[in-house]
Amino acid sequence: MSDPVFSVIVPVYNELENLPLLYSRVSDVMNQTGEKWELILVDDGSSDGSTDSIRELAQQDDRVRPVIFARNFGHQIAVTAGMDYSRGQAVVIIDADLQDPPEVILDLIAKWREGYQVVYAVRSEREGESWFKLTTASLFYKLIYKITDVKMPLNTGDFRLIDRKALTILNQMRERNRILRGMGAWVGFRQIGVEYKRAARHAGQTHYPLKNMLRLAMNAVTGFSIFPLQMLTTAGAFLVGLSLLLLLIYLCLAAFGKIDLTYVLAAWLTMIFLAGVLLIGMGVLGEYIGRIYDEAKGRPLYIVAEGPDTALDPTRLDRETEK
């Protein structure tokens, strides 16, 4: 049996009410592609019967491949497992709650056929989400964009298509705190966004309350920059500067007989100065820890899109025609 052309990956955590509709809408859409496809349902430790529902779907349709976790590992890890098990030439990652309309997959595939390796879906509108969620989400994306070294596209989640070439690299990035949209931006290749309207959840509740959003934000910042560590040095330098400036002001005022230099003032200045020195020291340590962290992630140093081994290399084509 030949490998499928497309793998659709869905992380599932307590989505019993959404699974039947998800399956029927995804299979309708994928059948329209005219290619062989598989649907990888990753059960992330569900406790509401989703697991059995996934097993049933797999029994009825052998294009459905279940990956069932022993416990809940979290959304990003579930998607990672789906990517590891996928066999398609392109994979599509989509949520189980039908907030990402499966019909958009056809647009993603169209761009892939034009030669893009990463096609991410950009939310132009969002339905059925609270003002609070919208504002925090928008703040989240702006913050990440500012702070991190890798420019993750704004208003983009994990709904995307990834070509096998980029996927092979992503699958080699085994960092534990994963933030796939950042890693996806990091690998490069030809990327493009496709706009879509994010729908409301078909059923059930979000699994991303504020606490999880904050963790995701923290992971994004710490996973793609050592900015927080470098902040220490900046803050320290600021405090040292401030204490020296205040000292100067006090000395001037004392010289003109406006105030007496008291012990209290001296103690304040010393405290600010020392705090500054300590922070600089911590910042320097942080700089080294940041480097250790970068090494520990063990990401590839570079990614070759076209090189001597690929058919696209012009020198190789020349050599072949000479023969």
Find the shortest distance in angstroms from Cβ 201 to Mg ion: 5
Find the shortest distance in angstroms from Cβ 200 to Mg ion: 9
| 255 contacts: CB under 8 Å, gap ≥ 6 | none
Contact 134, 206 (CB under 8 A): no
Q: Which is closer to ligand UDP, CB of 97 or CB of 163?
A: 97
Task: Kindly state the number of chain residues that form the binding site for Mg ion, as judged by CB under 5 A.
Answer: 3
Find the shortest distance in angstroms from Cβ 71 to Mg ion: 21
By CB under 5 A, which span of 93-101, 187-195, 222-230, 311-319 interacts with Mg ion?
Answer: 93-101
Question: Which of Mg ion, ligand UDP, none has residue 38 at its interface (CB below 5 to 8 Å by kind)?
Answer: none
Find the shortest distance in angstroms from Cβ 58 to ligand UDP: 17
What is the C-alpha separation between 204 and 12, in angstroms, rounded?
12
Read off the DSSP letter of residue 2: P
Residue 53 makes contact with Mg ion by CB under 5 A: no
Contact 113, 211 (CB under 8 A): no
Q: Pick the binder of Mg ion from 14, 46, 86, 99 (CB under 5 A).
A: 99
| 234 contacts: CB under 8 Å, gap ≥ 6 | 283
Find the shortest distance in angstroms from Cβ 105 to ligand UDP: 15
Find the shortest distance in angstroms from Cβ 303 to ligand UDP: 27
What is the C-alpha separation between 213 and 204, in angstroms, rounded?
18
Structure tokens at 282: 């911590």
Question: Which of Mg ion, ligand UDP, none has residue 288 at its interface (CB below 5 to 8 Å by kind)?
Answer: none
Q: Which is closer to ligand UDP, CB of 44 or CB of 163?
A: 44
Q: Which is closer to ligand UDP, CB of 82 or CB of 193?
A: 82
What is the C-alpha separation between 323 and 320, in angstroms, rounded?
6
Residue 97 makes contact with Mg ion by CB under 5 A: yes
Query: What burial letters (b/e) apply to 117-132, b meaning 16+ CB within 10 Å?
Result: bbbbbbbeebeeeeee
Query: What burial letters (b/e) apply to 138-167, b meaning 16+ CB within 10 Å?
Result: eeebeebeebbebebbebbbbbbbbbbbbb
Residue 43 makes contact with Mg ion by CB under 5 A: no
Q: Which is closer to Mg ion, CB of 99 or CB of 155?
A: 99
Question: Which of Mg ion, ligand UDP, none has residue 208 at its interface (CB below 5 to 8 Å by kind)?
Answer: ligand UDP
Sequence-ordered strand ranges (E) for 22-143: 37-43, 64-68, 90-93, 118-126
Find the shortest distance in angstroms from Cβ 165 to ligand UDP: 25
What is the C-alpha separation between 273 and 269, in angstroms, rounded?
6
Footprint of ligand UDP (CB under 6 A): 11-13, 15, 44, 72, 74-75, 78, 95-97, 99, 206-208
Residues that bind Mg ion (CB under 5 A): 95, 97, 99
